Homo-oligomer: A and B are copies of this chain.
Protein backbone atom coordinates (compact mmCIF):
# COMPACT_ATOMS: atom_id res chain seq x y z
CA UNK A 1 0.00 0.00 0.00
CA UNK A 2 1.53 3.29 -1.09
CA UNK A 3 2.44 5.74 1.60
CA UNK A 4 0.44 8.98 1.73
CA UNK A 5 0.86 11.89 4.12
CA UNK A 6 0.04 15.55 4.23
CA UNK A 7 2.97 17.10 5.99
CA UNK A 8 6.68 16.48 6.44
CA UNK A 9 6.38 15.68 10.13
CA UNK A 10 4.20 12.67 9.57
CA UNK A 11 6.33 11.58 6.70
CA UNK A 12 9.55 11.44 8.71
CA UNK A 13 7.95 9.73 11.66
CA UNK A 14 6.11 7.25 9.48
CA UNK A 15 9.44 6.35 7.92
CA UNK A 16 11.00 6.10 11.37
CA UNK A 17 8.38 3.62 12.51
CA UNK A 18 9.53 1.17 9.85
CA UNK A 19 13.20 1.21 10.89
CA UNK A 20 14.37 -2.02 12.49
CA UNK A 21 17.46 -3.96 13.39
CA UNK A 22 18.16 -6.79 10.95
CA UNK A 23 19.54 -9.99 12.47
CA UNK A 24 22.64 -11.20 10.64
CA UNK A 25 20.89 -14.56 10.25
CA UNK A 26 17.94 -12.88 8.53
CA UNK A 27 20.39 -11.10 6.29
CA UNK A 28 22.15 -14.27 5.19
CA UNK A 29 18.95 -16.33 4.98
CA UNK A 30 17.72 -13.85 2.38
CA UNK A 31 21.17 -13.60 0.77
CA UNK A 32 22.16 -17.23 1.02
CA UNK A 33 23.77 -17.18 -2.44
CA UNK A 34 26.50 -15.05 -0.82
CA UNK A 35 27.38 -18.07 1.30
CA UNK A 36 27.46 -20.55 -1.59
CA UNK A 37 23.95 -21.96 -1.19
CA UNK A 38 22.44 -20.67 -4.42
CA UNK A 39 21.70 -23.98 -6.17
CA UNK A 40 21.06 -27.51 -4.84
CA UNK A 41 24.25 -28.75 -6.55
CA UNK A 42 26.47 -26.10 -5.05
CA UNK A 43 24.69 -26.18 -1.67
CA UNK A 44 25.49 -29.87 -1.16
CA UNK A 45 29.18 -29.27 -1.89
CA UNK A 46 29.31 -26.15 0.28
CA UNK A 47 27.78 -27.97 3.25
CA UNK A 48 30.31 -30.81 2.96
CA UNK A 49 33.13 -28.33 2.51
CA UNK A 50 32.27 -26.29 5.57
CA UNK A 51 31.96 -29.41 7.74
CA UNK A 52 35.22 -30.96 6.48
CA UNK A 53 37.14 -27.68 6.81
CA UNK A 54 35.89 -27.39 10.40
CA UNK A 55 36.96 -30.97 11.15
CA UNK A 56 40.45 -30.48 9.74
CA UNK A 57 40.94 -27.21 11.63
CA UNK A 58 39.81 -28.77 14.91
CA UNK A 59 42.09 -31.81 14.53
CA UNK A 60 45.11 -29.68 13.68
CA UNK A 61 44.45 -27.24 16.52
CA UNK A 62 44.47 -30.20 18.90
CA UNK A 63 47.60 -31.71 17.37
CA UNK A 64 45.81 -34.77 15.93
CA UNK A 65 46.34 -36.40 12.54
CA UNK A 66 42.94 -35.84 10.90
CA UNK A 67 40.72 -38.63 9.59
CA UNK A 68 37.33 -37.59 8.23
CA UNK A 69 34.35 -39.62 7.01
CA UNK A 70 31.81 -38.05 4.66
CA UNK A 71 28.53 -39.94 4.18
CA UNK A 72 25.89 -38.82 1.73
CA UNK A 73 22.45 -40.42 1.83
CA UNK A 74 19.78 -39.95 -0.83
CA UNK A 75 16.45 -39.29 0.95
CA UNK A 76 14.48 -38.94 -2.31
CA UNK A 77 12.65 -35.87 -3.65
CA UNK A 78 15.96 -34.04 -4.09
CA UNK A 79 16.79 -34.26 -0.39
CA UNK A 80 20.09 -35.58 0.97
CA UNK A 81 21.46 -36.43 4.39
CA UNK A 82 25.00 -35.10 4.82
CA UNK A 83 27.03 -36.61 7.66
CA UNK A 84 30.61 -35.61 8.41
CA UNK A 85 32.50 -37.33 11.20
CA UNK A 86 36.02 -36.72 12.49
CA UNK A 87 38.53 -38.06 15.03
CA UNK A 88 39.07 -34.53 16.38
CA UNK A 89 39.14 -33.20 19.93
CA UNK A 90 35.35 -32.97 20.22
CA UNK A 91 33.41 -29.93 21.35
CA UNK A 92 32.54 -29.20 24.97
CA UNK A 93 28.82 -29.42 25.60
CA UNK A 94 28.28 -25.74 26.38
CA UNK A 95 29.69 -24.71 22.97
CA UNK A 96 27.85 -27.11 20.65
CA UNK A 97 24.63 -25.14 20.36
CA UNK A 98 26.45 -21.86 19.72
CA UNK A 99 28.83 -23.22 17.11
CA UNK A 100 26.03 -24.79 15.07
CA UNK A 101 23.12 -22.50 15.95
CA UNK A 102 24.47 -18.97 15.63
CA UNK A 103 26.03 -17.16 12.68
CA UNK A 104 29.24 -15.20 13.28
CA UNK A 105 30.42 -17.26 16.22
CA UNK A 106 33.81 -18.90 16.37
CA UNK A 107 37.38 -18.96 17.55
CA UNK A 108 39.26 -17.96 14.41
CA UNK A 109 37.92 -14.56 13.46
CA UNK A 110 39.75 -12.64 16.17
CA UNK A 111 43.00 -14.59 15.86
CA UNK A 112 45.59 -13.73 13.22
CA UNK A 113 46.42 -17.34 12.43
CA UNK A 114 46.25 -19.40 9.27
CA UNK A 115 43.22 -21.67 9.30
CA UNK A 116 40.60 -22.95 6.85
CA UNK A 117 37.65 -21.38 8.58
CA UNK A 118 38.01 -17.73 9.48
CA UNK A 119 34.60 -16.13 9.67
CA UNK A 120 32.48 -18.18 12.06
CA UNK A 121 29.85 -18.40 9.34
CA UNK A 122 30.31 -21.63 7.43
CA UNK A 123 28.94 -24.56 9.38
CA UNK A 124 26.11 -22.61 11.02
CA UNK A 125 25.14 -21.25 7.60
CA UNK A 126 25.03 -24.83 6.26
CA UNK A 127 22.71 -25.73 9.13
CA UNK A 128 20.55 -22.71 8.40
CA UNK A 129 20.29 -23.71 4.74
CA UNK A 130 19.33 -27.26 5.78
CA UNK A 131 16.64 -25.89 8.04
CA UNK A 132 15.36 -23.49 5.33
CA UNK A 133 14.96 -26.32 2.83
CA UNK A 134 13.81 -29.25 5.01
CA UNK A 135 12.68 -27.67 8.28
CA UNK A 136 14.88 -30.13 10.17
CA UNK A 137 17.49 -29.24 12.81
CA UNK A 138 21.16 -30.24 12.71
CA UNK A 139 22.18 -33.28 14.77
CA UNK A 140 25.58 -33.20 16.45
CA UNK A 141 27.28 -36.04 18.32
CA UNK A 142 30.51 -35.08 20.05
CA UNK A 143 32.82 -36.58 22.64
CA UNK A 144 35.87 -35.03 24.26
CA UNK A 145 37.46 -38.11 25.88
CA UNK A 146 36.87 -41.68 27.09
CA UNK A 147 35.93 -40.54 30.56
CA UNK A 148 32.91 -38.60 29.39
CA UNK A 149 29.96 -39.99 27.47
CA UNK A 150 29.26 -38.65 24.01
CA UNK A 151 26.81 -35.74 23.87
CA UNK A 152 24.02 -35.58 21.35
CA UNK A 153 22.40 -32.24 20.53
CA UNK A 154 19.83 -31.29 17.88
CA UNK A 155 19.77 -27.58 17.20
CA UNK A 156 18.46 -25.05 14.67
CA UNK A 157 18.86 -21.28 14.34
CA UNK A 158 16.22 -18.83 15.46
CA UNK A 159 16.80 -16.71 12.37
CA UNK A 160 14.91 -13.68 13.67
CA UNK A 161 17.29 -13.41 16.61
CA UNK A 162 20.41 -15.26 15.41
CA UNK A 163 20.51 -17.58 18.36
CA UNK A 164 20.43 -21.33 18.80
CA UNK A 165 17.16 -23.15 19.33
CA UNK A 166 17.85 -26.46 21.04
CA UNK A 167 15.47 -29.27 20.14
CA UNK A 168 17.05 -31.98 22.27
CA UNK A 169 20.25 -32.53 24.21
CA UNK A 170 21.52 -35.57 26.09
CA UNK A 171 24.13 -38.30 26.14
CA UNK A 172 24.45 -41.17 23.72
CA UNK A 173 26.71 -44.17 23.28
CA UNK A 174 29.36 -43.84 20.57
CA UNK A 175 32.20 -46.08 19.47
CA UNK A 176 34.58 -43.14 19.15
CA UNK A 177 36.70 -41.96 22.12
CA UNK A 178 36.87 -38.42 20.83
CA UNK A 179 35.55 -36.67 17.78
CA UNK A 180 32.52 -34.97 16.32
CA UNK A 181 29.78 -36.07 13.93
CA UNK A 182 27.45 -33.59 12.24
CA UNK A 183 24.31 -34.62 10.36
CA UNK A 184 21.98 -32.42 8.38
CA UNK A 185 19.20 -32.98 5.85
CA UNK A 186 19.09 -30.55 2.97
CA UNK A 187 17.94 -29.94 -0.57
CA UNK A 188 20.83 -30.92 -2.81
CA UNK A 189 22.00 -32.52 -6.00
CA UNK A 190 24.75 -35.11 -6.25
CA UNK A 191 26.87 -35.40 -9.38
CA UNK A 192 30.32 -36.39 -10.63
CA UNK A 193 31.17 -33.21 -12.53
CA UNK A 194 33.86 -30.62 -12.05
CA UNK A 195 32.26 -29.30 -8.86
CA UNK A 196 31.76 -32.69 -7.23
CA UNK A 197 32.25 -33.68 -3.61
CA UNK A 198 34.64 -36.45 -4.73
CA UNK A 199 36.83 -33.96 -6.58
CA UNK A 200 36.82 -31.59 -3.63
CA UNK A 201 37.98 -34.42 -1.33
CA UNK A 202 40.62 -35.61 -3.81
CA UNK A 203 42.08 -32.10 -4.15
CA UNK A 204 41.94 -31.70 -0.37
CA UNK A 205 43.98 -34.88 -0.05
CA UNK A 206 46.53 -33.54 -2.54
CA UNK A 207 47.01 -30.30 -0.62
CA UNK A 208 46.90 -32.06 2.77
CA UNK A 209 48.99 -35.24 2.47
CA UNK A 210 48.75 -35.78 6.27
CA UNK A 211 44.96 -36.25 6.09
CA UNK A 212 42.92 -39.41 5.50
CA UNK A 213 39.50 -38.92 3.89
CA UNK A 214 36.62 -41.31 3.23
CA UNK A 215 33.54 -40.78 1.12
CA UNK A 216 30.39 -42.89 1.05
CA UNK A 217 28.47 -41.78 -2.03
CA UNK A 218 24.66 -41.82 -2.19
CA UNK A 219 24.74 -45.07 -4.22
CA UNK A 220 26.84 -46.77 -1.52
CA UNK A 221 30.18 -46.55 -3.33
CA UNK A 222 33.09 -46.15 -0.91
CA UNK A 223 36.12 -44.04 -1.76
CA UNK A 224 39.18 -43.45 0.41
CA UNK A 225 42.22 -41.22 0.20
CA UNK A 226 44.85 -42.46 2.67
CA UNK A 227 47.43 -40.10 4.10
CA UNK A 228 50.83 -40.32 2.41
CA UNK A 229 52.63 -38.48 5.22
CA UNK A 230 52.39 -39.27 8.91
CA UNK A 231 53.80 -35.92 10.01
CA UNK A 232 51.53 -32.98 10.63
CA UNK A 233 52.51 -29.71 8.92
CA UNK A 234 54.06 -27.29 11.43
CA UNK A 235 51.45 -25.42 13.45
CA UNK A 236 50.96 -21.87 12.17
CA UNK A 237 51.85 -19.32 14.81
CA UNK A 238 49.22 -16.85 15.97
CA UNK A 239 50.53 -13.31 15.53
CA UNK A 240 49.64 -9.75 16.40
CA UNK A 241 48.79 -7.13 13.76
CA UNK A 242 51.79 -5.93 11.77
CA UNK A 243 52.45 -2.18 12.21
CA UNK A 244 52.28 -1.47 8.49
CA UNK A 245 48.80 -2.94 8.19
CA UNK A 246 47.06 -1.17 11.06
CA UNK A 247 44.60 1.47 9.92
CA UNK A 248 43.87 4.60 11.90
CA UNK A 249 40.39 3.47 12.89
CA UNK A 250 41.75 0.12 14.03
CA UNK A 251 44.51 1.83 16.05
CA UNK A 252 41.97 4.04 17.80
CA UNK A 253 39.86 0.98 18.65
CA UNK A 254 42.96 -0.86 19.92
CA UNK A 255 44.03 2.10 22.08
CA UNK A 256 40.60 2.08 23.65
CA UNK A 257 40.45 -1.67 24.26
CA UNK A 258 44.00 -2.31 25.49
CA UNK A 259 44.99 -3.45 28.99
CA UNK A 260 48.40 -1.78 28.63
CA UNK A 261 48.81 1.20 30.92
CA UNK A 262 51.54 2.96 29.00
CA UNK A 263 51.99 3.75 25.34
CA UNK A 264 55.36 1.96 25.18
CA UNK A 265 53.82 -1.24 26.57
CA UNK A 266 50.88 -0.89 24.20
CA UNK A 267 53.10 -0.70 21.13
CA UNK A 268 55.30 -3.56 22.31
CA UNK A 269 52.47 -5.89 23.40
CA UNK A 270 49.81 -5.28 20.78
CA UNK A 271 51.85 -5.03 17.59
CA UNK A 272 53.99 -7.60 15.85
CA UNK A 273 57.77 -6.97 15.46
CA UNK A 274 57.84 -3.96 17.82
CA UNK A 275 60.18 -4.08 20.84
CA UNK A 276 60.76 -1.47 23.54
CA UNK A 277 63.41 0.39 21.53
CA UNK A 278 61.35 0.53 18.36
CA UNK A 279 58.35 1.62 20.46
CA UNK A 280 60.39 4.55 21.80
CA UNK A 281 61.45 5.52 18.30
CA UNK A 282 57.83 5.54 17.16
CA UNK A 283 56.76 7.67 20.13
CA UNK A 284 59.56 10.17 19.50
CA UNK A 285 58.62 10.37 15.83
CA UNK A 286 54.94 10.92 16.71
CA UNK A 287 55.76 13.90 18.98
CA UNK A 288 52.86 16.19 19.92
CA UNK A 289 53.35 15.55 23.62
CA UNK A 290 53.11 11.76 23.38
CA UNK A 291 55.53 9.96 25.70
CA UNK A 292 56.32 6.36 26.59
CA UNK A 293 54.20 6.82 29.70
CA UNK A 294 51.12 8.32 28.00
CA UNK A 295 47.97 6.41 28.86
CA UNK A 296 46.75 4.69 25.66
CA UNK A 297 43.08 5.12 26.58
CA UNK A 298 43.44 8.85 27.02
CA UNK A 299 45.16 9.65 23.72
CA UNK A 300 43.02 12.19 21.88
CA UNK A 301 41.98 11.37 18.34
CA UNK A 302 44.05 14.04 16.65
CA UNK A 303 47.13 12.76 18.51
CA UNK A 304 46.29 9.21 17.44
CA UNK A 305 46.63 10.49 13.86
CA UNK A 306 50.27 11.43 14.49
CA UNK A 307 50.91 8.16 16.31
CA UNK A 308 49.42 6.30 13.34
CA UNK A 309 51.64 8.17 10.89
CA UNK A 310 54.72 7.34 13.01
CA UNK A 311 53.75 3.65 13.17
CA UNK A 312 53.22 3.52 9.42
CA UNK A 313 56.63 5.17 8.84
CA UNK A 314 58.58 3.00 11.32
CA UNK A 315 61.22 0.65 9.95
CA UNK A 316 59.88 -2.72 11.00
CA UNK A 317 60.91 -6.18 9.76
CA UNK A 318 58.47 -8.23 7.71
CA UNK A 319 56.15 -10.48 9.74
CA UNK A 320 57.71 -13.70 11.12
CA UNK A 321 57.74 -16.45 8.50
CA UNK A 322 56.34 -19.13 10.80
CA UNK A 323 52.90 -17.58 11.01
CA UNK A 324 52.14 -18.89 7.53
CA UNK A 325 52.60 -22.54 6.59
CA UNK A 326 52.75 -23.18 2.85
CA UNK A 327 52.44 -26.62 1.23
CA UNK A 328 56.07 -26.28 0.16
CA UNK A 329 57.78 -27.01 -3.15
CA UNK A 330 58.20 -30.72 -2.38
CA UNK A 331 54.53 -31.02 -1.44
CA UNK A 332 53.42 -29.21 -4.60
CA UNK A 333 55.58 -31.48 -6.78
CA UNK A 334 54.24 -34.56 -5.03
CA UNK A 335 50.66 -33.31 -5.41
CA UNK A 336 51.07 -32.61 -9.11
CA UNK A 337 52.74 -35.99 -9.76
CA UNK A 338 49.76 -37.58 -8.03
CA UNK A 339 47.33 -35.61 -10.11
CA UNK A 340 48.59 -35.80 -13.65
CA UNK A 341 51.59 -37.46 -15.39
CA UNK A 342 53.75 -34.85 -17.10
CA UNK A 343 57.07 -34.50 -18.90
CA UNK A 344 58.13 -31.48 -16.83
CA UNK A 345 57.21 -30.53 -13.28
CA UNK A 346 58.41 -27.57 -11.20
CA UNK A 347 57.25 -25.57 -8.18
CA UNK A 348 57.97 -22.24 -6.47
CA UNK A 349 57.15 -21.22 -2.91
CA UNK A 350 57.63 -17.47 -2.47
CA UNK A 351 58.83 -15.86 0.74
CA UNK A 352 56.16 -14.37 3.03
CA UNK A 353 54.83 -10.96 2.01
CA UNK A 354 52.24 -8.64 3.57
CA UNK A 355 48.96 -7.10 2.40
CA UNK A 356 47.25 -4.67 4.73
CA UNK A 357 49.22 -6.08 7.68
CA UNK A 358 48.37 -9.69 6.90
CA UNK A 359 51.30 -11.99 6.14
CA UNK A 360 50.77 -14.37 3.24
CA UNK A 361 52.67 -16.78 1.01
CA UNK A 362 52.01 -17.57 -2.64
CA UNK A 363 53.16 -20.81 -4.22
CA UNK A 364 52.75 -22.27 -7.67
CA UNK A 365 53.29 -25.76 -9.06
CA UNK A 366 53.46 -26.41 -12.80
CA UNK A 367 53.15 -29.66 -14.78
CA UNK A 368 53.72 -29.61 -18.52
CA UNK A 369 53.45 -32.01 -21.42
CA UNK A 370 51.60 -35.25 -21.92
CA UNK A 371 53.31 -38.56 -21.31
CA UNK A 372 53.32 -41.25 -24.00
CA UNK A 373 52.44 -38.62 -26.58
CA UNK A 374 48.73 -38.80 -25.72
CA UNK A 375 46.45 -37.42 -23.06
CA UNK A 376 46.27 -39.73 -20.08
CA UNK A 377 43.08 -40.66 -18.30
CA UNK A 378 43.65 -41.19 -14.60
CA UNK A 379 41.23 -43.10 -12.46
CA UNK A 380 39.97 -41.74 -9.17
CA UNK A 381 40.54 -44.89 -7.14
CA UNK A 382 38.64 -46.95 -9.67
CA UNK A 383 36.04 -44.21 -10.13
CA UNK A 384 35.65 -41.71 -12.92
CA UNK A 385 37.88 -38.77 -12.04
CA UNK A 386 36.27 -35.62 -13.38
CA UNK A 387 39.66 -33.97 -13.75
CA UNK A 388 41.63 -36.91 -15.02
CA UNK A 389 38.98 -37.91 -17.52
CA UNK A 390 40.09 -34.85 -19.38
CA UNK A 391 43.75 -35.73 -18.77
CA UNK A 392 46.24 -32.97 -19.47
CA UNK A 393 44.59 -30.28 -21.63
CA UNK A 394 45.17 -30.64 -25.37
CA UNK A 395 47.41 -28.28 -27.35
CA UNK A 396 44.46 -25.99 -28.20
CA UNK A 397 42.63 -26.26 -24.87
CA UNK A 398 42.92 -23.76 -22.00
CA UNK A 399 45.46 -24.83 -19.37
CA UNK A 400 44.08 -26.36 -16.17
CA UNK A 401 44.20 -24.23 -13.02
CA UNK A 402 43.83 -25.80 -9.57
CA UNK A 403 43.30 -23.10 -6.93
CA UNK A 404 43.84 -23.47 -3.19
CA UNK A 405 43.56 -21.08 -0.23
CA UNK A 406 44.91 -22.21 3.13
CA UNK A 407 45.03 -25.77 1.74
CA UNK A 408 41.33 -25.69 0.77
CA UNK A 409 40.54 -26.32 -2.91
CA UNK A 410 38.47 -23.57 -4.55
CA UNK A 411 36.03 -25.05 -7.06
CA UNK A 412 33.68 -22.21 -7.96
CA UNK A 413 34.03 -18.69 -9.37
CA UNK A 414 37.31 -19.36 -11.14
CA UNK A 415 36.80 -16.49 -13.54
CA UNK A 416 36.32 -14.00 -10.68
CA UNK A 417 39.52 -14.95 -8.88
CA UNK A 418 42.76 -12.97 -8.61
CA UNK A 419 44.62 -16.24 -9.26
CA UNK A 420 42.92 -16.63 -12.66
CA UNK A 421 43.52 -12.99 -13.46
CA UNK A 422 47.21 -13.36 -12.58
CA UNK A 423 47.53 -16.42 -14.83
CA UNK A 424 45.89 -14.57 -17.72
CA UNK A 425 48.16 -11.55 -17.24
CA UNK A 426 51.46 -13.47 -17.60
CA UNK A 427 53.11 -13.20 -21.06
CA UNK A 428 52.96 -16.93 -21.67
CA UNK A 429 54.04 -16.57 -25.31
CA UNK A 430 57.44 -15.63 -23.98
CA UNK A 431 57.51 -19.00 -22.24
CA UNK A 432 56.54 -20.97 -25.31
CA UNK A 433 52.77 -21.26 -24.86
CA UNK A 434 49.93 -20.29 -27.18
CA UNK A 435 48.32 -17.29 -25.48
CA UNK A 436 46.06 -14.38 -26.36
CA UNK A 437 46.12 -11.60 -23.75
CA UNK A 438 43.03 -11.47 -21.54
CA UNK A 439 42.32 -15.18 -21.84
CA UNK A 440 43.78 -18.37 -20.41
CA UNK A 441 46.91 -19.68 -22.16
CA UNK A 442 46.45 -22.90 -24.13
CA UNK A 443 48.36 -26.14 -24.07
CA UNK A 444 49.18 -29.25 -22.06
CA UNK A 445 49.74 -27.44 -18.75
CA UNK A 446 48.35 -27.85 -15.24
CA UNK A 447 48.94 -25.10 -12.68
CA UNK A 448 48.45 -25.52 -8.93
CA UNK A 449 48.24 -22.15 -7.18
CA UNK A 450 48.10 -21.81 -3.40
CA UNK A 451 47.63 -18.76 -1.19
CA UNK A 452 48.34 -19.27 2.51
CA UNK A 453 47.57 -16.36 4.82
CA UNK A 454 46.48 -15.45 8.32
CA UNK A 455 43.53 -13.77 6.60
CA UNK A 456 42.59 -14.76 3.06
CA UNK A 457 40.84 -11.89 1.22
CA UNK A 458 37.92 -13.77 -0.32
CA UNK A 459 35.61 -11.96 -2.73
CA UNK A 460 32.53 -13.25 -0.95
CA UNK A 461 31.43 -15.15 2.13
CA UNK A 462 31.30 -18.34 0.07
CA UNK A 463 35.12 -18.28 0.00
CA UNK A 464 35.59 -19.45 -3.58
CA UNK A 465 37.65 -16.64 -5.10
CA UNK A 466 40.46 -14.30 -4.00
CA UNK A 467 40.08 -10.51 -4.14
CA UNK A 468 42.65 -8.64 -6.24
CA UNK A 469 44.74 -6.91 -3.58
CA UNK A 470 47.74 -5.42 -5.43
CA UNK A 471 50.29 -7.07 -3.10
CA UNK A 472 48.69 -10.49 -3.59
CA UNK A 473 48.47 -10.05 -7.36
CA UNK A 474 52.15 -9.02 -7.44
CA UNK A 475 53.28 -12.15 -5.58
CA UNK A 476 51.11 -14.36 -7.78
CA UNK A 477 52.65 -12.75 -10.83
CA UNK A 478 56.22 -13.22 -9.56
CA UNK A 479 55.64 -16.89 -8.76
CA UNK A 480 53.91 -17.58 -12.07
CA UNK A 481 56.66 -15.86 -14.04
CA UNK A 482 59.28 -17.87 -12.18
CA UNK A 483 57.70 -21.23 -13.11
CA UNK A 484 57.08 -19.76 -16.56
CA UNK A 485 60.81 -19.07 -17.05
CA UNK A 486 61.64 -22.62 -15.99
CA UNK A 487 58.99 -23.90 -18.37
CA UNK A 488 60.57 -21.84 -21.17
CA UNK A 489 63.93 -23.53 -20.51
CA UNK A 490 62.29 -26.91 -20.79
CA UNK A 491 60.23 -26.00 -23.85
CA UNK A 492 63.35 -24.63 -25.60
CA UNK A 493 65.19 -27.87 -24.85
CA UNK A 494 62.25 -29.93 -26.14
CA UNK A 495 62.12 -27.75 -29.24
CA UNK A 496 65.86 -28.13 -29.86
CA UNK A 497 65.59 -31.90 -29.53
CA UNK A 498 62.59 -31.89 -31.85
CA UNK A 499 64.46 -29.75 -34.42
CA UNK A 500 67.47 -32.07 -34.39
CA UNK A 501 65.19 -35.03 -34.70
CA UNK A 502 63.52 -33.44 -37.71
CA UNK A 503 66.88 -32.63 -39.33
CA UNK A 504 68.13 -36.16 -38.81
CA UNK A 505 64.97 -37.61 -40.30
CA UNK A 506 65.38 -35.30 -43.27
CA UNK A 507 69.02 -36.34 -43.84
CA UNK A 508 68.12 -39.99 -43.42
CA UNK A 509 65.50 -39.68 -46.13
CA UNK A 510 68.21 -38.67 -48.63
CA UNK A 511 70.90 -41.13 -47.49
CA UNK A 512 69.74 -44.05 -49.67
CA UNK A 513 69.77 -41.78 -52.73
CA UNK A 514 73.27 -40.55 -51.88
CA UNK A 515 74.44 -44.16 -51.40
CA UNK A 516 72.77 -45.16 -54.68
CA UNK A 517 74.47 -42.30 -56.51
CA UNK A 518 77.91 -43.19 -55.11
CA UNK A 519 77.26 -46.89 -55.86
CA UNK A 520 76.27 -46.07 -59.45
CA UNK A 521 79.37 -43.89 -60.04
CA UNK A 522 81.69 -46.52 -58.60
CA UNK A 523 79.64 -49.31 -60.19
CA UNK A 524 79.21 -51.18 -56.89
CA UNK A 525 77.04 -54.20 -56.42
CA UNK A 526 73.68 -53.62 -54.59
CA UNK A 527 74.93 -55.22 -51.37
CA UNK A 528 77.85 -52.78 -51.15
CA UNK A 529 75.55 -49.81 -51.83
CA UNK A 530 73.18 -50.96 -49.05
CA UNK A 531 76.14 -51.36 -46.70
CA UNK A 532 77.27 -47.80 -47.45
CA UNK A 533 73.73 -46.48 -46.79
CA UNK A 534 73.77 -48.23 -43.39
CA UNK A 535 77.21 -46.78 -42.57
CA UNK A 536 76.07 -43.26 -43.53
CA UNK A 537 72.95 -43.63 -41.36
CA UNK A 538 75.08 -44.59 -38.37
CA UNK A 539 77.39 -41.67 -39.02
CA UNK A 540 74.52 -39.16 -39.05
CA UNK A 541 73.01 -40.73 -35.90
CA UNK A 542 76.21 -40.51 -33.86
CA UNK A 543 76.80 -37.01 -35.19
CA UNK A 544 73.45 -35.89 -33.79
CA UNK A 545 74.30 -37.43 -30.48
CA UNK A 546 77.62 -35.58 -30.38
CA UNK A 547 75.88 -32.22 -30.80
Residues of A within 8 A of B (CB): 1-5, 7-9, 11-13, 15-16, 18-24, 26-27, 29-31, 33-34, 38, 58, 61-63, 89-92, 94-95, 98-99, 102, 104-107, 109-111, 119-120, 128, 131-136, 144-145, 147-148, 159-160, 177-178, 235, 237-238, 247-250, 252-253, 257, 301, 304-305, 308, 415-416, 455, 457-461, 467, 469
**CB-CB < 8 A to A90: which residues of B?**
8, 12
Q: A3-B63, A5-B62 are in contact. List 18 more A-B contacts (CB 8 A).
A: A8-B177, A11-B61, A11-B62, A12-B91, A15-B58, A16-B92, A19-B99, A21-B104, A22-B104, A22-B106, A24-B104, A30-B455, A33-B457, A33-B459, A134-B249, A135-B249, A135-B304, A135-B305
Docked Cα-Cα span, A135 to B305, in Å, equals: 8
- B16, A91: Cβ atoms under 8 Å? yes
Q: Which residue of B lies closest to A457 (CB)?
A: B33
**CB-CB < 8 A to A34: which residues of B?**
459-461
Return A397 CB to nearest CB of chain B, in Å: 14
- Cβ-defined partner of A102 (8 Å) among B21, B38, B144, B308: B21
**CB-CB < 8 A to A110: which residues of B?**
20, 22, 26
Residues A107 and B15 in contact in the complex (CB < 8 Å), given A4-B63, A38-B467, A460-B459: yes
Residues A249 and B133 in contact in the complex (CB < 8 Å), given A11-B89, A34-B461, A145-B9: yes
Q: Which 7 A-B pairs have the closest CB atoms?
A: A132-B249, A18-B107, A12-B144, A8-B145, A11-B89, A22-B104, A11-B62
- A61, B3: Cβ atoms under 8 Å? yes
**CB-CB < 8 A to A19: which residues of B?**
95, 98-99, 105-107
Q: Which residue of B lies closest to A309 (CB)?
A: B77
User: Could you show 11 A-B contacts with beta carbons less than 8 Å apart?
Assistant: A1-B238, A8-B90, A16-B95, A19-B99, A22-B106, A22-B120, A24-B27, A34-B460, A132-B247, A132-B250, A135-B304
Q: Which residue of B lies closest to A358 (CB)?
A: B30
**CB-CB < 8 A to A24: which residues of B?**
24, 27, 104
Docked Cα-Cα span, A61 to B147, in Å, equals: 63
- A8, B144: Cβ atoms under 8 Å? yes
Q: Which residue of B lies closest to A178 (CB)?
A: B8
Docked Cα-Cα span, A444 to B416, in Å, equals: 27
**CB-CB < 8 A to A11: which residues of B?**
61-63, 89, 144
Return A311 CB to nearest CB of chain B, in Å: 13
**CB-CB < 8 A to A248: which residues of B?**
132-135
Docked Cα-Cα span, A147 to B12, in Å, equals: 13
**CB-CB < 8 A to A2: which residues of B?**
235, 237
Docked Cα-Cα span, A304 to B132, in Å, equals: 12
**CB-CB < 8 A to A98: which residues of B?**
19
Q: Which residue of B lies closest to A301 (CB)?
A: B135
Docked Cα-Cα span, A104 to B135, in Å, equals: 26
Docked Cα-Cα span, A30 to B178, in Å, equals: 34
Docked Cα-Cα span, A178 to B136, in Å, equals: 50
Docked Cα-Cα span, A33 to B468, in Å, equals: 10
Residues A253 and B160 in contact in the complex (CB < 8 Å), given A8-B144, A33-B467, A34-B460: yes
Residues A92 and B13 in contact in the complex (CB < 8 Å), given A22-B120, A107-B18, A249-B131: yes
**CB-CB < 8 A to A458: which residues of B?**
31
Return A270 CB to nearest CB of chain B, in Å: 15
**CB-CB < 8 A to A238: which residues of B?**
1
- Cβ-defined partner of A18 (8 Å) among B23, B33, B111, B305: B111
- A9, B144: Cβ atoms under 8 Å? yes
- A12, B104: Cβ atoms under 8 Å? no
**CB-CB < 8 A to A38: which residues of B?**
467, 469
**CB-CB < 8 A to A33: which residues of B?**
457, 459, 467, 469
Residues A20 and B107 in contact in the complex (CB < 8 Å), given A12-B89, A15-B89, A63-B3: yes
Return A423 CB to nearest CB of chain B, in Å: 15
